[in-house]
């Protein structure tokens, strides 16, 4: 079963792009969302549009409107990931303003920057006007990992995901294209059974990630919270290394296994598995880690109805809302 799953991921990519049946997505209301785009069988919802990314999202909106309903969901996935990683990259630049290891120096390019004292003084001495320091002498550090994105993919490998193989393949294909284009680091966390594990640590070789998929089996249970928590810890590690992390959660939202440990959270839910997911989502939000939620079984319920039930689509939307991230819903054919 597990080798077959990996083969299907790769074999179905041309089929998805060529002839997947389109289903209309019902009119939906997403409370708190600042951007909603629809294309074919997919919907893209953003719960956070920082000023730095407004131009990028405007470009995304124009591109999808030009393509119209003929645009494949894979195209929307690729554009959504591109927008999310750009937001993460911009946030990473701000976060790395005072951390990280300097690997080189350059003339300042912005109005606010950190001055590297030693290179600045060396420049003034070389030009012969030491101890006077002029504007053209100033140098700022180039930090290791500055602006580089590390995508942490949290993949739900429960039995219910067997119905969503084309949607998972579409998501992974979009991640692969973006990672190869920008040489981003990619890691893979798989959740199934009663826990989660890091299958592939961060790497720029996406082929390693694909090869590890052949070892991924399936289980009847969905410990989504455990997978998200593992992804959160990995994202923190990447942040300390100087990278801007982006957590990509791929699931149908049918969480049914809670975490063994409880985390502090402001939200409450009767289902312990759902409660654990909400707790981890608040933890991710408090660390200001960018998140992209990919729902492989997007439902037709309105956001208000789904939010009350918090099952499937509702839970995935709530995770995106809490983390102030983005949501991509892929509607599978009936």
Of the two residues 49 and 86, the one the predictor is more confident about is 86
Tokens linked to 136? 């053209």
Q: What whole-number percentage of the chain has pLDDT above 70?
A: 71
- Reported as a single tens digit per residue, the pLDDT across 158-187 is 877 777 777 788 788 888 888 888 888 999
Instruction: Determine contact, residues 76/39, Cβ cutoff 8 Å.
Output: yes
Nearest CA to 196 out of 154, 256, 238 is that of: 154
Tokens linked to 293? 């939620």
- pLDDT for 173 equals 83
The pTM for the full model equals 0.72
Of the two residues 75 and 65, the one the predictor is more confident about is 75
* Range among 57-61, 211-215, 223-227 with highest mean pLDDT value: 223-227
Average pLDDT over residues 83-105: 64
Q: Is the pLDDT of residue 242 over 90?
A: no
Distance CA 30, CA 322 (A): 13
Q: How far is CA 153 from CA 24, 27, 175, in A?
A: 28, 29, 9
Show the DSSP H helices in the chain as ranges: 2-11, 13-19, 54-67, 73-95, 117-126, 165-182, 206-213, 224-240, 272-286, 303-309, 313-322
Average pLDDT over residues 260-284: 85
pLDDT confidence band for 207 (50 / 70 / 90): confident
Question: Left, alpha or beta for 39 (phi > 0: left; psi -120 to 50: alpha)?
Answer: beta
**Mean of all residue pLDDT scores within the chain:** 76
**Domains identified in the chain and CATH numbers:** 2-95+146-330 (3.40.50.410), 104-143 (no CATH)
Query: Could you tell me how far CA 32 lies from the centroid of its own chain?
Result: 19
Tokens linked to 243? 């990278």
């Amino acid at each position: 079963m597990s080798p077959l799953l990996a083969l299907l991921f790769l074999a179905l990519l041309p089929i998805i792009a060529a002839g997947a049946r389109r289903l209309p997505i019902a009119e939906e209301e997403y409370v708190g969302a600042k951007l909603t785009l629809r294309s074919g069988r997919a919907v893209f919802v953003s719960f956070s549009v920082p000023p730095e990314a407004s131009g990028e999202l405007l470009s995304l909106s124009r591109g999808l409107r030009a393509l119209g309903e003929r645009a494949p969901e894979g195209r929307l996935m690729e554009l959504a990931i591109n927008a999310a990683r750009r937001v993460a990259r911009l946030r990473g630049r701000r976060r790395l303003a005072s951390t990280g290891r300097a690997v080189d120096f350059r003339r300042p390019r912005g109005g606010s920057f950190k001055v590297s004292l030693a290179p600045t003084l060396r420049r003034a001495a070389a030009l012969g006007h030491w101890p006077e320091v002029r504007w053209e002498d100033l140098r700022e550090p180039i930090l290791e990992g500055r602006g580089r994105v590390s995508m942490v993919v949290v993949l739900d490998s429960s039995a219910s995901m067997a119905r969503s193989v084309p949607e998972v393949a579409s998501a992974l294909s979009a991640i692969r294209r973006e990672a190869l284009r920008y040489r981003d680091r990619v890691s893979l966390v798989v959740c199934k059974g009663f826990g989660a594990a890091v299958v592939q640590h961060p790497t720029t070789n996406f082929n390693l990630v694909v090869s590890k998929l052949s070892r991924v089996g399936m289980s009847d249970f969905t410990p989504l919270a455990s997978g998200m928590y593992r992804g959160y810890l990995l994202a923190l590690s990447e942040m300390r290394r100087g990278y801007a992390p982006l957590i990509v959660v791929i699931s149908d939202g049918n969480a049914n296994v809670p975490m063994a440990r409880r985390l502090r959270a402001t939200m409450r839910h009767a289902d312990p598995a759902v409660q654990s997911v909400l707790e981890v989502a608040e933890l991710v939000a408090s660390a200001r880690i960018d998140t992209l939620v990919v729902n492989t079984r997007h439902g037709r319920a309105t956001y208000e109805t789904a939010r009350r039930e918090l099952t499937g689509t509702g839970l995935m939307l709530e995770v995106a809302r809490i983390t102030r991230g983005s949501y991509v819903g892929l509607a599978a054919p009936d």
